[in-house]
Structure 1
Amino acid sequence: MTLEAKLAATREGVGKRIPVDLQAIMHDATTRLRGSGILNRVIKPGAKAPDFALNDQNGQMVSLSALLTAGPVVVGIFRGFW
């Protein structure tokens, strides 16, 4: 299955699980974000990420540059409520 097919299946599944009124809020927020020009400022695939520092899972400040000294880094972003 191609990535595009997987994404289409995910979109279809979301459409069945999320109430229509909440979908409308999400679509409106996406439209406003796209209209803000944010896509012109995102890092493009293959580009070097700027250095940044965030707290790790233990609350300790960690910078990208420090992590890169040990090798390649994968950054995962998790949105949601815990």
Structure 2
Amino acid sequence: MNISNRREEINTETINTALNLTIFGIAISFILLSVLIIFITLIKFIENKLSKINLKKNDPNYKKVLAASVAVSIVESELQNFK
């Protein structure tokens, strides 16, 4: 009878330990998954920002607009010198 109670106590402790470790493992997995999702979202956000900047520089009209703005600024500075 005493041995039976001892086995039941060990089984209860083992089940409780297994349950606690399972819950702990699921919680850690959920936290790591959340961190990974946030990290990937942040990388995608930064990548989209950088690609928009690169698209502006790769635009065929970018050099024309840049040259026109430089020309306008030179003309304005020359006009200031003549006044």
TM-score, normalization by structure 2: 0.26
Structure number with higher helix proportion? 2
Structure number with higher strand proportion? 1
The higher-RCO structure (CA 8 Å, 6+ apart) is 1
